[in-house]
Chains A and B, each alone.
Chain A
Amino acid sequence: MSSTAASRKIEYSDSENRNALIAVKAHLIGGLLVFLLMMLAGFAMRAAQGTWLEIAVDLFYQIMTVHGVGVVGAAGIASTGVLWYFLRQYVRLSNTIFWVNFCIFLTGVVMILGSIFLGGYGGAWTFLYPLPAISMGAWSTGAAAVFQLGLLVIGTGFLILYLDIGRAILAGYGSLAAALGLPQLFGKVPVDNTHPPTVVAGTMVLIVNFLGIAAGAVVLVMGLVNLYNPEFQPDALLMKNLIYFFGHVFINATIYASVTAVYELLPRYTGRPWKTSKVFYAAWFAIVFMVMAVYPHHLMMDFPMPQWMLVMGQILSFGSGIPVLVVTGYGALMIVYRSGIQWSTTTKLLFLSMFGWAAGVIPAILDAMVTINRVFHNTMWVPGHFHFYLLLGLLPMIIGFTYHLAGEGRQKEVKATDNVGFYAYLIGGFLTSMVFLASGASSVPRRWAVHMDEWVTFAQVGTVAAALVVLGTLLFILRALISLPRAADPS
């Protein structure tokens, strides 16, 4: 099937569209509320490290665990909402399956919260083997098992959703290769500039997340077997490889899912279409492999790792952000340049996300160098990278889309509260990340509940920055809660 034929927009009934809009709003509101709670958790941890708040050490690690898993989950569910909203315009997606995933996700969240705050599990969201099984009395085997079962349940929900997305893409385009634009890239068919970027991005996310979740399904069950049958001791390094393949791919894919908001919305606000090309297809094809192959940059301190994997991890980490970032960042600049765009909170956030994405990968690239990694990897440098990437790259895409959906495009002027929210968030997000990076550069370790006196100032500045982020997000979320439920579909 030619891409042009399949690129025609899909027709749904009014009731299907209404139901879909409610589902997307539920995903966004649910995701943003979890983000806010996790920011409060982060604020509390920074305040505790800065000696402004007293938190028991075991509670600190429980908060750290819920912060990590909560942010990854919120990023997953909210970015899925963004991708699904746009993708269903090109391929026929099922509302029921979308809701099923949401309900399964909530079930998994309840299980994870129970394991942490009732069972006391505090072994970090990465559940690195054999830590869940050797808590030294801090949590029970049952708590560790429920945490991993919660992740397994959430993974199953996402898997069902991706199967539906895969079914719809295969029905519309015949193969994933065609949806990625590979026949056009390799000259088998003429280039079709109207082939939707959202379909290309959605296919990439589908491929990598499907494989990532499949790896997660294996490693989580092996962890559970070990919990109840300690005689079975799998290779710890293989477990770590699979955990990071699953975890890194999942969180990384959220930004590739959310970037569809940039592809779809910037053209509407500038009046210039986002055209696909061979360069665009090549970039997205490359990123399919790169996203899956960069995870060894988490294992550079594991000396028994095969050398070729570490070399691959280093080289691909240098290059992994570049292809899509260049086509997207450059494309966004070209679309906006002298377009006469009217800046709103939506467009400001989408444009900010390009900066956050581009600048956020720089600390990651540095950390992916073996020699730097030896010194930096267990320091605050790493939270510095992912806070930059998530606070200034991913979240602005999601919040920007939420503003668009809330009907901001129909207003002539930006509200003062939105301006306060935007600048509080921007300054807070930037400062939070930079304080983490500066702490890392000063060798302040990460994942420590109690900080030495010399490090306390960093944590205190970080607390103020986190408060600004919370303020900005609170204003954004209030706006979302007030305007979003009643807003009509802007498209």
Chain B
Amino acid sequence: MLLKIKQEWLPLAAWFILALPPMQRFLEQSMVTHMLVQIPMLIIIGWMIGKTLPAEWKAKIAPWNRWGITGMALTIVIMAYWMLPRSLDGAVSEWYFEVLKFITLPVMGIALNLSWPLLNSIARGVLMLEFWATLMRLGWLYLDLPDRLCANYLLSDQRILGQLLLLGGSAYAISWTLRIMFGTKIIKA
């Protein structure tokens, strides 16, 4: 019982730690940690909250989320919004953007958790490939663009992020290849 309570509170505790001003400033001082640490962690927190949602809540949401389509549409809209340089800049400069980020990204994680298992396997494949292509496209753009995309971050920061996105995309491609070619799973679900 005690362990169960702990598990349910763990994501909220993590969310609270991320929202603490020192932690928030530490992660947002660099474009790399902002995009590759803080944002993914907020989504993971949402995913974990989605896992621990009471069964009756899930049952109430299910009719509105047939085949996971509504949830995935919400996920894609939120993800696309936080990929805009203006949004990222806003989160650093304006408090209301920051509040919006700390709410919408966990919501995206919850929607992803509730919708992914319901999604058709072909749709999952298309989204996984599109996610990979997005990593590669953004990585390439950040590396090659002559100007800064975010007013709050240095061009050198943007370039490092570009390299890391390309690296992440490559690692993702290798792990996916190993899985479908030989049935090898690098990360066990």
Please list the residues of chain A having a beta carbon within 8 angstroms of any beta carbon in chain B: 97, 156, 159-160, 163-164, 166-167, 170, 174-177, 207, 214, 217-218, 221-222, 225, 231-235
Enumerate B134-170 residues with CB–CB distance to A below 8 Å: 136-137, 140-141, 144-147
Q: Are B126 and A159 in contact (CB under 8 A)?
A: yes
User: What's the Cα separation between A97 and B125 when bound, in Å?
Assistant: 13
| Extra inter-chain contacts (15) besides given A218-B133, A234-B140, CB under 8 Å | A159-B129, A163-B121, A163-B125, A163-B129, A164-B122, A167-B122, A175-B180, A175-B182, A177-B181, A218-B136, A218-B140, A222-B140, A225-B141, A231-B146, A234-B144
Cα distance, A193 to B76, chains bound together (Å): 47
Task: Report how far A243 CA is from B35 CA in the complex, Å.
Answer: 30
Dominant secondary structure at the B interface = helix
Is A233 in contact with B144, judged by CB distance below 8 angstroms? yes
Q: A175-B181, A176-B180, A217-B133 are in contact. Are A231 and B125 (CB under 8 A)?
A: no
Asked if A163 meets B141 with Cβ closer than 8 Å, knowing A175-B182, A217-B129, A217-B133, the reply is: no
Is B132 part of the contact surface with A, judged by Cβ < 8 Å?
yes
Query: Of the candidates B121, B140, B145, B183, which one forms a contact with A174 in the assembled complex, judged by CB atoms under 8 Å apart?
Result: B183
Alpha-carbon distance A214/B137, docked complex (angstroms): 11
**In contact, B145 and A232 (Cβ under 8 angstroms):** yes
B144 & A235 in contact (Cβ 8 Å cutoff)? yes
Whole-angstrom distance from the CB of A476 to the nearest CB of chain B?
A: 34
Residues of B within 8 A of A221 (CB): 133, 137
Contacts of A214 in B (CB 8 A): 129, 132-133
Residues of A within 8 A of B183 (CB): 174-175, 177
Complex: how many Å from CA A72 to CA B15?
Answer: 52
Contact flag A222-B181 (CB < 8 Å), given A159-B129, A163-B126, A231-B146 = no
A207, B176: Cα distance in complex, Å: 12
| A217 / chain B contacts, CB cutoff of 8 Å | 129-130, 133
User: Could you write out 10 A-B pairs with CB less than 8 Å apart?
Assistant: A160-B122, A160-B126, A164-B122, A167-B122, A175-B180, A176-B181, A207-B181, A218-B136, A218-B137, A221-B133
Rounded to whole Å, the gap between the CB of A202 and the closest CB of chain B is: 14
Nearest-neighbour CB distance to chain A for B155, whole angstroms, equals 14
Q: How far apart are the CA atoms of A221 and B145 in the complex, in Å?
A: 15
Complex alpha-carbon distance, A166 and B122, angstroms: 9
Question: Which of B132, B137, B141, B180 has the most A CB atoms < 10 Å from its CB?
Answer: B180
> Chain A residues near B141 (CB, 8 Å)?
222, 225, 232
Closest A-chain residue to B179, C-beta based?
A175
For window 113-137 of chain B, which residues contact chain A by CB distance below 8 Å?
121-122, 125-126, 129-130, 132-133, 136-137
Complex interface: chain A residues within 8 A of B146 (CB): 231
Q: Smallest CB-CB separation from A100: which chain B residue?
A: B122
A170 to B129, CA, bound (A): 17
Whole-angstrom distance between the Cβ of B167 and the nearest chain A Cβ: 15
B168 CB, nearest partner CB in chain A, Å: 14
Residues on B with C-beta less than 8 A from A170 are 180
* Complex A-B, nearest 9 residue pairs according to Cβ-Cβ distance, in ascending order: A163-B125, A175-B183, A217-B133, A163-B122, A218-B136, A176-B181, A177-B182, A218-B133, A177-B181
Is there an interface contact between B147 and A231, defined as CB atoms closer than 8 Å?
yes
Q: How far is the CA of A160 from the CA of B125 in the complex (A)?
A: 8
Contacts of B126 in A (CB 8 A): 156, 159-160, 163
A235 to B121, CA, bound (A): 35
Question: How far, in whole Å, are A167 and B130 apart by their CA atoms in the complex?
Answer: 17
Does A167 lie within 8 Å of B133, measured CB to CB? no
Taking CB atoms, residues of chain A closer than 8 Å to B133 are 214, 217-218, 221
Q: Shortest distance in angstroms between B64's beta carbon and chain A's nearest beta carbon?
A: 25
Task: Tell me how far the C-beta of A203 lies from the nearest C-beta in chain B, rounded to whole angstroms.
Answer: 10
Which of chain B's residues has its CB closest to A167's CB?
B121
Determine how close the nearest CB of chain A comes to the CB of B1; give it in whole angstroms: 41
* Chain B nearest Cβ from A463, distance in angstroms: 43
B122 to chain A, nearest CB (A): 5
A241 smallest CB distance to B (angstroms): 13
Could you tell me the distance in whole angstroms from the C-beta of A212 to the nearest C-beta in chain B?
12
**A235 nearest in chain B by CB position:** B144
Alpha-carbon separation in the docked complex, A225 to B141 (Å)? 9
Shortest CB distance A392–B (Å): 34
A231 to B180 alpha-carbon distance, docked (Å): 39
Q: Is the CB of A167 within 8 A of B125?
A: yes
Bound-state Cα–Cα, A166 to B125, Å: 10
**Closest chain A residue to B133 by CB distance?**
A217
| Residue on A nearest B144 in the bound complex, by CB | A234
Chain B, residues 36-51, CB within 8 Å of chain A (1/0): the string is: 0000000000000000
Chain B residues whose C-beta falls within 8 Å of the C-beta of A235 in the assembled complex: 144
- Given A159-B129, A231-B146, A166 and B180 contact (CB-CB distance below 8 Å): yes
Bound complex: CA of A167 vs CA of B125, how far in Å? Answer: 9
**Of all chain A residues, which has the CB nearest B139?**
A218
Q: Which residues of A contact B137 (CB under 8 A)?
A: 218, 221-222, 225
- Report the Cα distance A232→B146, complex, angstroms: 7
Within the complex, what minimum Cβ distance (angstroms) separates A428 from chain B? Answer: 41
Q: How far is the CA of A80 from the CA of B21 in the complex (A)?
A: 57
B146: nearest chain-A partner, CB-CB: A231
B129: which A residues are within 8 A, CB to CB?
A: 159, 163, 214, 217
Closest to B184 in A: A175
Chain B residues with CB under 8 Å of A176's CB are 180-181
**In the complex the two chains form, what is the Cα distance from A97 to B121 in whole Å?**
12
Residue numbers in B under 8 Å from A97 (CB-CB):
122
Complex contacts, B136 vs chain A, CB 8 Å: 218
Select the residue from B122, B136, B141, B182 with max chain A CB neighbours within 10 A.
B122
User: Chain A residues with Cβ under 8 A from B121's Cβ?
Assistant: 163, 167
Give the nearest-CB partner of A206 in chain B. Answer: B180
Which residue of the partner chain A has the closest CB to B145? A232
CA distance A221 to B139 in the complex (A): 13
Q: Return chain B residues, CB-CB under 8 Å to A233.
A: 144
Given A175-B183, A177-B181, A232-B144 contact (CB < 8 Å) = yes
Bound form: Cα–Cα A44–B144 in Å: 42
Taking the closest CB of chain B, its distance from the CB of A182, in whole angstroms, is 8
Specify the chain B residue showing the minimal Cβ separation from A178: B183
Distance in angstroms between the alpha carbons of A175 and B176 in the assembled complex: 12
A155 to chain B, nearest CB (A): 11
Query: Complex formed: what's the CA distance from A160 to B123 in Å?
Result: 8
